[in-house]
């Protein structure tokens, strides 16, 4: 079976500097992979390469077997940026009208139904939404065309614990509705523990460890807080 996302020996350079080097990763349907690493490790760059907005210097990126820089593959991707990339005066309805033409599979009825389930008001300006509501709005827009691959770039950043839990619950409930692969870049180790089937740890632009959280803890015990986090995560399980 063709992986939803297949990355092989990926190298991405910004000028003379290699931001990613030799990264290989494959995501199957129905899985959530958390991408961990310190600032500058290359997490956002890896997501942008998977999205098709960065050209690899070497290696390959394929979404459902196709180059994501081309139209058909891009239509299979949903993306949530680390901050709302919309004007503050926009409502959910405005955002949907802006995004819909970019996705041939856009389903307005699905967007409205998901917004209703997640408690996202359709006629309230983005500037007046809470951080949690804004995050759920971006998730709603990313899911409306039923993407096979969902890319999330620090979707929980800046959220208080209550809002974070709401967005986590929204993510998990919506992913169960579709047979998707999800890649989440996050600094939040608790989020990784609660949602992930696997964890990928980037260090200096290279994929240092890939596996279950237990495996990563064993391979990189020096990562701050990872062992204690794993112990707590085993008690609670996935959110």
- Asked whether residue 231 carries a pLDDT value surpassing 70, the answer given is no
Going from N- to C-terminal start, the domains of the chain cover: 29-57+65-236
Cβ-Cβ contacts under 8 Å for 218 (sequence gap 6 or more): none
Q: What is the pLDDT of residues 23-71, one digit of tens each?
A: 999 999 989 999 988 888 899 999 999 999 999 999 999 999 999 988 7
* 194: confidence class by pLDDT, cuts 50, 70, 90: confident
Pairing of strands 198-203, 181-185: unpaired
Under 8 Å between Cβ of 186 and 192: yes
Give CA–CA dist 134/164, Å, rounded: 12
Percent residues over pLDDT 90 in the chain: 57
Compute how many other C-beta atoms are within 10 angstroms of the C-beta atom of residue 169.
13
Three-class secondary structure of residue 198 per DSSP: strand
Cβ-Cβ contacts under 8 Å for 26 (sequence gap 6 or more): 3, 5, 6, 7
What are phi and psi for residue 42, nearest 5 degrees?
110, 15
The domain defined by 29-57+65-236 folds into Rossmann fold (3.40.50)
pLDDT (0 to 100) of residue 187: 79
pLDDT (0 to 100) of residue 218: 72
């Amino acid at each position: 079976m063709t992986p939803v996302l297949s990355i092989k020996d990926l190298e991405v350079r910004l000028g003379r500097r290699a931001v990613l080097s030799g990264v290989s990763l494959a995501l199957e349907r129905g899985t959530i992979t958390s991408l961990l690493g310190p600032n500058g490790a290359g997490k956002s760059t890896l997501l942008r390469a998977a999205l098709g907005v960065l050209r690899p210097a070497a290696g390959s990126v394929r979404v459902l077997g196709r180059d994501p820089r081309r139209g058909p593959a891009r239509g299979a991707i949903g993306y949530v940026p680390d901050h709302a990339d919309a004007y503050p005066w926009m409502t959910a309805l405005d955002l949907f009208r802006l995004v819909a033409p970019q996705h041939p599979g856009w389903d307005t009825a699905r967007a409205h139904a998901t917004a209703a389930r997640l408690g996202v008001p359709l006629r309230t300006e983005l500037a007046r939404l809470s951080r949690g509501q804004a995050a759920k709005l971006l998730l709603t827009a990313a899911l409306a065309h039923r993407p096979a691959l969902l890319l999330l770039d620090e979707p929980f950043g800046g959220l208080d614990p209550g809002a974070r839990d709401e967005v986590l619950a929204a993510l998990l409930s919506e992913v169960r509705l579709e047979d998707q692969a999800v890649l989440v870049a996050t600094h939040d180790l608790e989020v990784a523990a609660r949602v992930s089937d696997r964890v990928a740890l980037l260090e200096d632009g290279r994929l240092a460890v890939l596996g279950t959280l237990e495996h990563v803890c064993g391979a990189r015990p020096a990562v701050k807080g990872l062992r204690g986090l794993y112990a707590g995560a085993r008690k609670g399980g996935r959110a």
